[in-house]
Every structure is written in structure tokens, then in C-alpha cells.
């Protein structure tokens, strides 16, 4: 590798290894074209799409150009720089949005009437909707039903978004169904002004197609953003709807008040379809009540989880954290309601029709069956309050990225880390690995983390492995990391006028002025993890992953990490950061 002139941003970063990768949501899309007849990436996509047109829906693809990596590469062409959520164009007329989505659905060979066959559970919320879906899916799968589960975003692999019986669909199934849907859309493109779906809409239609083809008994559908204008809201007749905890997030799309956000979330209500919500802030509840009345939708507030217990034994939840208890209660109501409709005669099912639809009622608790209790205990949802122990290094991973979710994360980490420290054989070093993306107020999130008393605060972009060159986007990400570092200093009353010695990579160019505070900025997740763990995690000791030597000053800075009996690392602020970390830390699950 020849030397190049580093940018001003690069010289402020603690390491810049010669690795190559991309953002987590695109990391599977960086494969080269697998076909030698494709002269350009765009030609590759066109060839693959043409092959997709004639593909039978009954057999797996065997034609070159229709392999898994080709599908992943083609999926990248549906990405936009603005992101999925803004493409919902919330300012436009709702009926026009539904009409557009319905048109794409029909072009893909599906109808909204077919979606009624999926016996859908539709869930939205600001915090906890994914966990609620995971609890609900596990409960119903434990009852022996074949489940479909659509969620976003994915952590490592795009296939995680579409699950059958709790498992991401395999590469073969993903490839088969991808080309079926993409081929139909491409074939009809010219007749519709050359329009193609954007990423999230495509995935939503793909999920519906997969669930119909795989003949699931039910589909648990997590809303992307909001509810009213979300493309999942093309669903006409869900069996039951749920709203998890509401808070402030995606303000550029949903509005900057809890009332505006609640208005969007309540858009998933449907006439006569039972809906449940956890306890909400008063202003949010007023809006949800108004939306339910507007939609002639019966709405209930879930009881506390403790109210379900008749034998005085607490529930054992598969997901850690006190905040998961309200998600579990919501999941119990959703699954219980679905089971009653599925298993009981119409005249003996839950008497929704006798309820006054103009108000919100408090739902009474019921005694969960042993299968339900086991379902709650068996639930897994990676990247949310997750603990991984690798010898002397313990990772605490949580994708918290809102104020309320970070509050819950701090509470969980403080309790869980304290338990681990009590069982430690010696002193423990605490390290924060943080990044925030999008419009999030990183400074406000960091302020909540200060009471955790970290020995080091480390910042890096949500990039698994860094590139040797630095484009404008990466420089912007690094600038944000440096801003986060300054925010941390301010919150810790350390000031930002420190002047220190120079940090050098052994035998390489000067990169950074080392601050005399326990903070560092790295260009990628891998370089950050390698420095934090100091060679004590075998998962990061892959010979293919080069560890760059650093000068003595940096080695000395890491002395507390080397001397500690254990290292505890909280990774939070972004699901993309957590996903990038899991790519390196849990290789068995993400092959």
C-alpha cells in the first residue's frame, strides 16, 4: 500500500488501520460481481433482473446471475442517501401513499386481500416494539404455530429482517424469493414510468411474499417508522394491534411532540380490530384515545406484569431489563387475543363487540398458561440488553438510541455489571464504546451515561472495519465522533483545552494528539475493540484481522486494561454499532 496524504480529520483519530468494509446496513452489498459477462455493476443488475423474469416460483434458482450475493448487490441499488423513512413522505396525502404501495404490491403479483390470510399481529411504538414482537412470536411458536416475523433494522445480515419460526430465512430461500419479487417489479417498470421500490418498501413486500409462500399460520409485523404512513400499514385486517412505549424519536418525520408522534402511531388502528397499549404519557394517551375513537377501534391498556401472577413467583424473562416487563405484558395480551380468535368459536371468543369504543379501558390480567410463561423465558432478541462473556472480557450490548431507551440501558447496565463485578476475581475496568447516528442528540445520550463511571470512553463510527482511504461520508462520521468525545469531556467537567503528546502507529505516520483524558477515537469498530480488549478476547485474534502496533505512549495508556482482572464493555448508542460489534464478537451466529 502506497502512502497518501491524510485528511485533517484522519490525523485526529487514534488509529487508521488498512482494512476495507462499509456501513452495517450495507456490509453484505460490497461483494464483487460474480459474473464475468457483466461489464459494470449496473449491467450486472440488469442481467440478473432479466434472468429473474423467467424464474419459476417452484424451484430454487440455478441460473448464474441469480445467486445470493447477486441479490444482495442488487438490493444495494434500492438504497437511497435519504434513508428509508423519509421516502414515506409523510407530508403527502395518506390515500396516495397507500395507493402507491398497493400498486407496487400488485406489480409484485400480490394483492391486499391476500395479506388478510396472514393473520397479522401489527406492532408499533418508539421503544420496545421489536422486543414485544419477539416475545409475541416466541409465545405463539411455543404453541406449535408456524410463525413469520418481519422486523427492522437488521444487525448483521439482511436476512434477519424476515424470519420463519424464529430463524432468519436461509440464503437459498432469500435468493429464490428475492428474484421472484424483483423480477416481477423490473418486468413492469417501463409500464409504470420506470419506477422501482425503495429499500424498505421492497423488503416489506418481500416479507409478505415469503410468508404467503411459506404458508405461515401468522405473521408478526413490526412497523418501520411511525404507523399512519408506514408502508406496513397497507395491512387492512390485522387480528390484533399493539403499541409499545412512546417517546421522542424521528422528529423530522413524525413531529417534535409526543402528541404528534402518538397520532402517527395510532394510525395502525383498524375498525373493530382489538388494540392494546402499555401505559403512556398522559398527552400520548389522550391522542391514542382520540385515534381509537376515530377508527372505531377498541383500545385497552395492559396491566402490570406482576398482576398476572397468582402463585407469587416472578416471571423469568428471556430479555433482560426492567423495561422489558411492560413489553412482556403487551405480548401476553397480543398473543392471548390472537389465540382466542384462532382457537375459540366466534360466539365464545373475547367479547370485543361489547366494549364502548369511545374510550380506553384497563384490561384485566389473566393467568398465563405454562406455554406462555415458557415462551417469555425462551425469548431471544440480539443486540438488546445482551450480555456476551468472552473469558476475562464481558460485553454488554444495547442498541439504545433515544432518551428513554438510554435511561433503561443505564439502569440495566448498572445492575447487571454490578452483579458481574461482585463475582470478579479482582479489579474491573469499565469501558464505554459509543456512537450515535442520524438526528439523535448524542450529547444528551452521553450525559445519561456519565453516572456509570467508565474508566475509558471510546468513540468510533458504526463501521465494522475501516478503509485505508477516507471519503467525505467517513470524514463526517469521524467528525461526529470527535464531537461526541468533546461532549463527554464537557459532561465530565474535564474541559477541552488539553494538550498532550503525539500518538503514533509504530513505523507509520503521525495521526493524533493524545489527550490526557481517558477517551479515544477510532476509525472503526474492530480497531476500537482490539485496543480495548488488549488481546484478551480470542474472538478478535483472527490472524486475518491485522492488529496494528502502537507506540509506547498508547501502550502505557492501556495499562489499566492490562492490569484489570476483567474488562466490562458497554456498547450502545446505535443498533448499527451493536450490529457491527456482533459481526466480530459472535461469528458463530453470523457466518
Q: Which residues are annotated as a binding site for ATP?
A: 384, 398
Q: What's the CA gap between 70 and 43, in Å, rounded?
A: 12
Place of cell 440480539: 382
| Residue 29 DSSP symbol | G
What radius of gyration, in Å, describes the C-alpha atoms of the chain? 25
390 sits in which H/E element: strand 386-390
C-alpha 354/C-alpha 572 separation (Å) is: 45
Which residues are annotated as part of the binding site? 152, 222, 250, 384, 398
Torsion of CA 536, 537, 541, 547, to 10 degrees: -60
Q: How far apart are CA 568 and CA 432, in angstroms?
A: 9
3-state helix vs strand vs coil in the chain, percent to 5: 45, 15, 40
Contact 22, 522 (CB under 8 A): no
Contact 97, 234 (CB under 8 A): no
**Cα 206 to Cα 187: distance, rounded to the nearest angstrom:** 16
CA distance 514 to 46: 50
Q: Please state the residue numbers annotated as binding site for Mg(2+).
A: 152, 222, 250
| Cell, residue 274 | 382489538
* Cell representation of residue 456: 475509558
Give Cα separations from 550 to 15, 505, 547, 554 (angstroms): 9, 4, 9, 6
Cell of 6: 491524510
Three-state SS annotation for 546-586: CCCCECHHHHHHCHHHHHCCEEEEEEECCHHHHHHHHHHHC
Contact 126, 222 (CB under 8 A): no
CA distance 297 to 453: 47
Instruction: Look at the block and give the residue holding cell 389522550.
Output: 286
Q: Cell triple for residue 221?
A: 409485523
Amino acid at each position: 500500500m502506497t502512502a497518501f496524504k491524510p485528511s485533517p480529520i484522519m490525523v485526529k483519530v487514534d488509529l487508521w488501520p488498512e482494512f476495507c468494509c462499509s456501513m452495517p446496513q450495507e456490509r453484505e452489498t460490497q461483494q464483487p460481481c460474480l459474473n464475468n459477462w457483466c461489464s459494470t455493476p449496473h449491467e450486472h443488475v440488469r442481467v440478473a433482473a432479466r434472468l429473474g423474469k423467467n424464474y419459476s416460483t417452484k424451484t430454487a434458482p440455478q441460473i448464474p446471475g441469480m445467486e445470493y450475493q447477486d441479490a444482495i448487490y442488487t438490493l444495494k441499488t434500492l438504497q437511497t442517501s435519504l434513508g428509508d423513512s423519509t421516502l414515506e413522505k409523510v407530508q403527502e396525502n395518506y390515500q396516495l401513499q397507500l395507493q402507491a404501495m398497493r400498486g407496487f404490491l400488485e406489480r409484485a403479483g400480490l394483492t391486499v386481500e391476500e395479506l388478510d390470510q396472514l393473520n397479522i399481529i401489527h406492532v408499533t411504538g418508539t421503544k420496545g416494539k421489536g422486543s414485544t414482537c419477539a416475545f409475541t412470536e416466541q409465545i405463539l411458536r411455543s404453541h406449535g404455530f408456524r410463525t413469520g416475523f418481519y422486523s427492522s433494522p437488521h444487525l448483521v445480515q439482511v436476512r434477519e429482517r424476515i424470519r420463519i419460526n424464529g430463524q432468519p430465512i436461509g440464503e437459498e430461500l432469500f435468493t429464490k424469493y428475492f428474484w421472484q419479487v424483483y423480477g416481477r417489479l423490473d418486468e413492469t417498470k417501463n409500464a409504470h414510468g420506470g419506477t422501482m421500490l425503495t429499500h424498505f418498501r421492497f423488503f416489506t413486500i418481500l416479507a409478505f411474499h415469503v410468508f404467503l409462500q411459506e404458508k405461515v399460520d401468522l405473521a408478526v409485523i413490526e412497523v418501520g417508522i411511525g404507523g399512519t404512513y408506514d408502508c406496513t400499514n397497507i395491512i387492512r385486517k390485522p387480528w390484533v394491534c399493539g403499541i409499545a412505549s412512546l417517546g421522542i424519536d424521528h422528529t423530522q418525520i413524525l413531529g417534535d411532540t409526543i402528541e404528534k408522534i402518538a397520532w402517527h402511531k395510532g394510525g395502525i388502528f383498524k375498525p373493530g380490530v382489538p388494540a392494546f397499549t402499555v401505559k403512556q404519557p398522559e398527552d400520548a394517551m389522550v391522542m391514542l384515545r382520540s385515534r381509537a375513537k376515530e377508527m372505531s377501534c377498541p383500545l385497552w391498556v395492559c396491566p402490570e406484569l406482576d398482576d398476572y401472577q397468582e402463585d407469587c413467583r416472578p416471571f423469568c424473562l428471556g430479555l433482560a431489563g426492567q423495561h422489558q416487563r411492560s413489553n412482556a405484558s403487551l405480548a401476553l395480551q397480543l398473543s392471548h387475543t390472537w389465540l382466542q380468535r384462532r382457537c375459540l368459536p366466534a360466539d365464545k371468543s373475547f367479547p370485543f363487540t361489547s366494549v364502548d369504543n369511545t374510550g380506553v379501558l384497563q384490561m384485566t390480567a389473566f393467568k398465563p398458561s405454562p406455554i406462555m410463561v415458557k415462551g417469555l423465558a425462551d425469548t431471544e432478541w440480539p443486540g438488546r440488553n445482551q450480555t456476551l462473556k468472552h473469558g476475562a472480557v464481558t460485553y454488554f450490548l444495547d442498541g439504545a438510541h433515544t432518551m428513554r431507551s438510554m435511561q433503561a440501558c443505564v439502569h440495566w447496565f448498572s445492575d447487571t455489571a454490578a452483579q458481574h463485578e461482585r463475582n470478579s476475581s479482582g479489579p474491573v475496568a469499565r469501558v464505554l464504546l459509543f456512537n450515535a447516528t442520524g438526528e439523535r442528540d448524542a450529547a444528551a445520550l452521553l450525559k445519561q451515561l456519565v453516572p456509570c463511571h467508565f474508566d475509558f470512553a471510546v468513540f468510533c463510527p458504526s463501521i465494522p472495519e475501516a478503509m485505508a482511504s477516507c471519503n467525505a461520508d467517513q470524514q463526517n462520521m469521524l467528525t461526529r465522533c470527535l464531537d461526541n468525545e468533546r461532549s463527554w469531556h464537557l459532561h465530565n467537567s474535564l474541559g477541552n483545552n488539553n494538550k498532550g503528546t503525539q500518538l503514533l502507529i509504530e513505523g507509520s505516520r503521525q495521526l493524533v494528539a493524545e489527550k490526557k483524558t481517558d477517551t479515544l477515537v477510532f476509525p472503526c469498530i474492530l480497531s476500537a475493540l482490539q485496543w480495548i480488549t488488549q488481546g484478551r478476547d480470542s474472538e478478535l485474534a483472527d490472524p486475518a484481522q491485522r492488529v496494528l502496533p502502537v507506540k509506547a505512549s498508547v501502550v502505557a495508556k492501556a495499562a489499566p486494561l492490562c492490569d484489570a482482572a476483567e474488562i466490562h464493555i458497554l456498547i450502545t448508542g446505535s443498533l448499527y454499532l451493536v450490529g457491527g460489534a456482533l459481526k466480530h464478537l459472535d461469528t458463530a451466529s453470523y457466518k
